[in-house]
Amino acid sequence: MTKICCIVFSTLFLFTCAISAHAGDLDSFKGQKGTLKIAGGTAHIPVMKEAAKLIMQANPDLRITIAGGGSGVGIKQVGEGLIDIGNAGRKATDKEVSTYGLTMYKWAVDGVGVVVNPKNTVTKLTTAQLQDIFSGKISNWKELGGADRAINLYDRDAASGTRSVFWKKGLQKANVSTTANIVASNGAMKTAIAGDPYGIGFVSVGHIDASIAPVTLDGIAPSLENVKSGAFKVSRGLYSLTKGEAQGLAKLFIDFIFSPTGQDLVKAKGFVAVQ
C-alpha cells in the first residue's frame, strides 16, 4: 500500500512539476497581495482553476476566486465592476464594449462540438439534420438510424457564450425547441450527456473526453486539430475581459495566461493556444 502511495505521490509530484516548467512566469506575483475575482464563461473554468492553483501555491498571500454563470454574466459583472476579470466564450458585442468600456484579451481558440453518449450509434450528422433535431422536427433516434428512443435535447441558458456561438455557427440561427432541458455550464452539459444514453447537446471542444462521444458534423470531427486548421467551422475565441485596460493583479493574471506556462495550461486543458 505504502509503495503504491509513494508511486502515486511521486507521479503527481512530477506532473505538477511538468506544468510549472517555466517557473519564471510566476515571479511577477512575488510580493503581491489581495484578491482577484473572476467569473463568467464556464468553458474557461478548468484553465482558470489550474492557473489560480499555481499562482496561489507560489504566493499564499493572494486569493483568486472563480465563479461560473456564463459569458453574458461575465461581461455584465465585469462591466458593473463586481468582478475584476470577466470571461466570455464569445466576442462582446459593440454595444457591450462601448457601454462599459471593456478590453478583450483572446487567449485561446476553441470549438463547440455536438456530443452524444458513447453508447449512441449515431456519430455523423449534417447541419440540416442538426437543425431538425434541435427544433424538434426529428424527435426519435430511429429516424437517424439509432435506437427507437426519444431524443433528449440539452440546451444552455441564454447567458451562455457556447450557446450563442453554437446557435450562430452550428445551427445557422435555426429555432431551438423550448422543451429542451437547460443545464448551467459546459461541465454540467458533459455530465448530463455522459449520464443520458439518449441525450444530445453541445460542449466546448476542450471539454470532450472519453465520457462523451463527439459527433461528426458535415463530415468534419470536432477535434483540436480541425479547430486549429480552421476546417471545423463552429469555433470561437476564449476571451477574458477587463473594464478599461487591465491593471494590477488582473493584468498580472492575464499576462500569466499569455506566458509559456499559461499557454501550456491552455493546451493541457484541450484548447488551441494563441501563442
Which residues are at the interface with other proteins (CB under 8 A)?
9, 12, 35, 37, 39, 42, 45-46, 48-49, 52-53, 56-57, 60, 63-70, 73, 76-77, 79-83, 149-150, 152, 154-155, 157-159, 177-188, 190-192, 195-196, 198-199, 207, 209
Smallest distance, other proteins to C-beta of residue 74, A: 9
Q: How far is the CB of 248 from other proteins (least distance, A)?
A: 12
* Rg, Å, the chain Cα set: 20
Indicate the burial class of 185 (C-beta count within 10 angstroms; 0-12, 13-18, 19 or more): buried
Residue whose C-alpha cell reads 464594449 in the numeric block = 97
Using the minimum distance from each CB to other proteins, give the nearer residue, 28 or 191: 191
Nearer to other proteins, 143 or 198 (CB): 198
Min dist. Cβ of residue 230 to other proteins (A):
28
- Shortest distance (Å) from residue 264 CB to other proteins: 18
Calculate ∠ Cα 176-163-86, nearest 5°.
150
Q: Roughly how many angstroms between the first and final C-alpha of the chain, as a whole number?
A: 43
- Residue 119 CB, nearest approach to other proteins (Å): 12
Q: How far is the CB of 125 from other proteins (least distance, A)?
A: 19
Closer residue to other proteins (CB): 168 or 251: 168
Helices (H), the chain: 2-19, 45-58, 71-80, 94-100, 127-135, 161-165, 186-195, 224-229, 248-258, 260-268
Rank residues 209 and 225 by Cβ distance to other proteins and give the closer one: 209
Given the C-alpha cell 499557454, which residue does it identify?
263
Nearest approach, Cβ of residue 6 and other proteins (Å): 12
**Closer Cβ to other proteins, 31 or 60, answer by number:** 60
Integer CA distances (angstroms), 50 to 191, 204, 261, in order: 20, 17, 11
User: Can you tell me the distance from the alpha carbon of 133 to that of 216, in angstroms, rounded to the nearest whole number?
Assistant: 15
Closest CB to other proteins among residues 56, 273: 56
Which residue's entry shows cell 441558458? 157
The nearer residue to other proteins, 35 or 275, going by C-beta atoms, is: 35
Rounded Cα–Cα distance for residues 233 and 165 (Å): 10
